[in-house]
């Protein structure tokens, strides 16, 4: 059941577009040779997905650190719930809220009122990044939170007993030990971002085009299912390569330690 | 319901009757001003309804249609009448509908295709020839053949006319010294100048490419590689100046983010009704005229209810309520006879003859042409 749809996509990718769209059986590599026609979409995704992942990480780490280390137990539960609550509503609804916030009557009018000039936020790559960080933050916060939570507090005491300043303790003890969480969070967010289409479509005003958007257009607009399948196969290959490289990198970086779990 | 006919005095009625007898006014005008057209069609509809209620059509009918396109109150009364609840699925483009039907298993009973898709649906065997005996409210003689014609393929009626309209532009005139734009040349030039960052175009290759072709005076339906290349150059130059590529432009026009939008009649009417400073105009070079239809997909799960719903919606009294709600003109003379002269003179709904004659119907190959699809993808990903 898991691989069946993938097999269909794989077979379709060698076919051709029917005269009125859809799929017609054939065997050719034309669809793959034509992949250059979607290069811009791949490029946009390969730029914005890592930036989005990094932005998520930069905001999620301090938040997770605060939750796991600083917050009192009473507040901890409360704040954790606050992080999860947005997940209870569909991302579609939440994106609409951002359309209003970033639209002309939202934040830009506030900025204009403060005398900082007119700026456009909605329908820009910036708006898409805001949506991405907002939508994927919990996926980054939780793995980091868990790894910080499990961290043996006696190690921190030992460090300070031996005279290490707090910053050193953080850099040499806390940060390295929370790396499994960071690696998992980044992986989760990055993989999902590569296939994202809703946030760019809604907050990018149709002007920020991910591979996901190219796929939606190919399947439901121009109905070139064969080429769409080839793009999907290419996306899977790109992900496989990136993820393998990423795992190699994190493993080497961790010096072959096996307690760094990725998935 | 401000468009309703006002009651007329006895004297006025006699005057109109004399004018009608003398032949100085048409039957349509006479029935329209006196309200007799409305009265007769309400009577006719009531009779039809009694007949309809006698057969059991099930409790559900699935309709695939467009946004802001039906008065929900009419669905409520259909349910009260027949016991069948209308389950409405809203779509954004004809391609999306076609893709769904091609993939199969939609569960739709009735859907609303546009003129240029019907021959393709017939070719692919996706819609059934309509059993006209089940749609007694459809009177072919009352429908303007210009709009109802594409529903007939090879002499068989596959789809019946719902309404028609145009694709033009909506200008927020408050941002342009009170003037609306009147040509596609202006539309694309202004977007790259004073209106930079304030224009939206459809997320739909048929209209966006078609109206870019009009900038050069080419046919809206062109698939000529050289002409398409010109249109592409224009679209790529315009892209950084666009506010959005979207078919859902009403929110941005209403909140003032967008000042100019590629726009369909109904949206233009709705925007203008609520904000008179937003004006809907056609490009004088031409552009698109279209008509929408009701059709029944092959294998519709609630076929009887499908026919009952189409027949109900084509009841002139109901169709009039629908047209007042969605703001598109209808091709049924019986409905037009019930509308006020002011409405029939509305330039948004019924454009001047010279503007109208410059418009083109979209062609089947315009929709399915792969070069146009690829052009749109390059434009969107640029």
Show residues of chain B in contact with A95, CB under 8 Å.
none
CB proximity A128 to B under 8 Å = no
Q: Which CATH class is domain B10-163+290-344?
A: alpha beta
Cβ atoms of residues A183 and A166 within 8 Å: no
Structure tokens at B144: 């303007």
Whether B36 has a pLDDT exceeding 90, the answer reads: no
CATH of the domain at A109: 1.10.3720.10
Is 0.90 exceeded by the ipTM?
Answer: no
CB contact under 8 A, A205 and B377: no
Give me the percent of chain A exceeding a pLDDT of 70: 96
pLDDT of residue A61: 96
Secondary structure (DSSP) of B292-354: EEEE-BTT-TTHHHHHHHHHHHHSHHHHHHHHHHH----SBHHHHTTS-HHHHT-TTTS--HH
- For residue A183, is it within any domain? yes
Give me the percent of chain B exceeding a pLDDT of 70: 86
- For residue A116, is it within any domain? yes
Quick: pLDDT tens for A189-245. 999 999 999 999 999 999 999 999 999 999 988 889 999 999 999 999 999 999 999
**Owning domain of residue A97:** 45-253
Give me the percent of chain B exceeding a pLDDT of 90: 79
Domain ranges of chain B: 10-163+290-344, 165-289+350-381
CB contact under 8 A, A38 and B377: yes
Whether A126 has a pLDDT exceeding 50, the answer reads: yes
- How does residue B9 score in pLDDT terms, banded at 50, 70 and 90? low
Round the average pLDDT of chain A to a whole number and report it: 89
pLDDT of residue A19: 80
- Closest-CA residue in chain A for B91? A220
Quick: pLDDT tens for A69-101. 888 888 888 998 988 888 888 888 888 899 999
CB contact under 8 A, A221 and B93: yes
Of A205, A209, A221, the CB nearest to B244: A205
Quick: pLDDT tens for B19-35. 655 555 555 554 555 55
Distance in angstroms (rounded) separating the CA atoms of residues A52 and A55: 5
- For residue A176, is it within any domain? yes
Of A20, A41, A206, the CB nearest to B244: A206
| Mean pLDDT confidence for A119-140 | 93
Cβ atoms of residues B308 and B60 within 8 Å: no
Quick: pLDDT tens for A39-80. 999 999 999 999 999 999 999 999 999 999 888 888 888 998
- Closest-CA residue in chain B for A40? B381
Query: Could you tell me which residue, A22 or B70, shows the higher pLDDT?
Result: B70
Residues 88-107 (A) with a CB less than 8 A from some CB of B: 99, 103-105
Query: Could you tell me which residue, B6 or A68, shows the higher pLDDT?
Result: A68
Q: How many domains does chain A have?
A: 1
Whether A254 has a pLDDT exceeding 80, the answer reads: no
CB proximity A36 to B under 8 Å = no
Q: Residue B90 is inside which H or E element, if any?
A: strand B85-90
pLDDT of residue A128: 95
CB contact under 8 A, A103 and B124: no
Whether B16 has a pLDDT exceeding 80, the answer reads: no
pLDDT of residue B32: 52
Out of 3.40.50.300, 3.40.50.2300, 3.40.190.10, 3.30.420.40, select the CATH number for domain B165-289+350-381.
Answer: 3.40.190.10
Same fold, B10-163+290-344 and B165-289+350-381: yes
pLDDT of residue B382: 86
CA distance B48 to chain A (A): 39
Residues 246-265 (B) with a CB less than 8 A from some CB of A: 246, 251-252, 255-257
Query: Could you tell me which residue, A257 or A73, shows the higher pLDDT?
Result: A73
| Mean pLDDT confidence for A10-22 | 88
Residues 96-135 (B) with a CB less than 8 A from some CB of A: 96, 98-100, 102-103, 120, 123-124
- How does residue A186 score in pLDDT terms, banded at 50, 70 and 90? very high
pLDDT of residue B220: 97
């Amino acid at each position: 059941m898991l691989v069946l749809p993938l097999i269909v996509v794989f077979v379709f990718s060698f076919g051709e577009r029917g005269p009125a769209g859809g799929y017609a059986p054939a065997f050719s590599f034309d669809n793959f040779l034509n992949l250059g026609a979607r290069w811009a979409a791949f490029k946009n995704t390969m730029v914005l997905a890592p930036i989005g992942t990094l932005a998520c990480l930069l905001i999620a780490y301090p938040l997770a650190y605060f939750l796991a280390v600083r917050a009192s137990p009473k507040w901890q539960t409360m704040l954790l719930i606050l992080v999860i609550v947005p997940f209870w509503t569909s991302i579609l609804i939440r994106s609409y809220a951002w359309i209003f916030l970033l639209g002309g009557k939202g934040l830009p009018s506030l900025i204009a009122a403060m005398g900082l000039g007119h700026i456009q936020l909605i329908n820009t790559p910036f708006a898409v990044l805001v949506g991405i960080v907002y939508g994927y933050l919990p996926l980054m916060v939780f793995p980091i939170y868990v790894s910080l939570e499990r961290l043996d507090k006696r190690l921190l005491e030992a460090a300070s007993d031996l005279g290490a300043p707090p910053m050193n303790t953080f850099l040499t003890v806390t940060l390295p030990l929370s790396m499994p969480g960071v690696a998992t969070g980044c992986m989760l967010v990055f993989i999902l971002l590569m296939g994202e289409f809703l946030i760019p479509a809604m907050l990018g005003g149709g002007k920020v085009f991910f591979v996901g958007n190219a796929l939606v257009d190919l399947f439901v607009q121009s109905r070139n299912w064969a080429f769409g399948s080839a793009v999907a196969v290419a996306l899977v290959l790109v992900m496989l390569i990136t993820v393998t490289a990423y795992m190699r990198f994190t493993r080497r970086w961790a010096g072959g330690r096996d307690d760094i779990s990725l998935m | 319901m401000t468009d309703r006919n006002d009651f007329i005095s006895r004297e006025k009625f006699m005057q109109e009757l004399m004018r009608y007898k003398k032949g100085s006014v048409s039957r349509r005008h006479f029935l329209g001003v006196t309200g007799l057209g409305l009265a007769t069609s309400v009577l006719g509809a009531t009779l039809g309804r009694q007949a309809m209620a006698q057969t059991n059509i099930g409790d559900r009918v699935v309709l695939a249609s467009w946004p802001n396109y039906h008065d929900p109150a009419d669905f409520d009364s259909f349910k009260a009448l027949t016991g069948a609840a209308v389950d409405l699925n809203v779509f954004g483009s004809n391609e999306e509908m076609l893709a769904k039907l091609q993939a199969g298993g939609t569960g739709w009973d009735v859907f609303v295709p546009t003129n240029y898709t019907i021959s393709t649906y017939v070719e692919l065997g996706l819609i059934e020839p309509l059993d006209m005996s089940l749609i007694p409210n459809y009177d072919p003689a009352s429908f303007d053949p210009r709009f109802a014609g594409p529903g007939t393929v090879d002499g068989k009626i596959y789809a019946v006319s719902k309404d028609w309209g145009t694709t033009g532009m909506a200008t927020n005139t408050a941002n342009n010294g009170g003037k609306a734009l009147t040509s596609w040349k202006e539309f694309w030039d202004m977007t790259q100048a004073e209106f930079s960052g304030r224009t939206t175009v459809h997320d739909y290759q048929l209209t966006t490419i078609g109206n870019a072709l009009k900038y050069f005076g080419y046919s809206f339906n062109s698939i000529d590689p050289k002409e398409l290349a010109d249109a592409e150059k224009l679209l790529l130059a315009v892209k950084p100046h666009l506010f959005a590529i979207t078919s859902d432009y009403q929110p941005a026009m209403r909140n003032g983010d967008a000042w100019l939008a590629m726009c369909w009649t109904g949206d233009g009417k709705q925007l203008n009704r609520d904000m008179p400073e937003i004006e809907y105009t056609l490009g004088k070079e031409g552009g698109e005229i279209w008509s929408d239809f009701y059709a029944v997909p092959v294998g519709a799960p609630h076929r009887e209810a499908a026919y009952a719903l189409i027949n109900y919606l084509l009841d002139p009294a109901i169709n009039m309520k629908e047209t007042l709600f969605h703001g598109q003109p209808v091709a049924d003379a019986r409905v037009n006879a019930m509308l006020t002269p002011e409405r029939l003179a509305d330039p948004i709904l019924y454009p001047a003859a010279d503007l109208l004659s410059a418009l083109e119907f979209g062609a089947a190959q315009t929709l399915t042409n792969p070069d146009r699809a690829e052009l749109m993808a390059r434009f969107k990903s640029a």
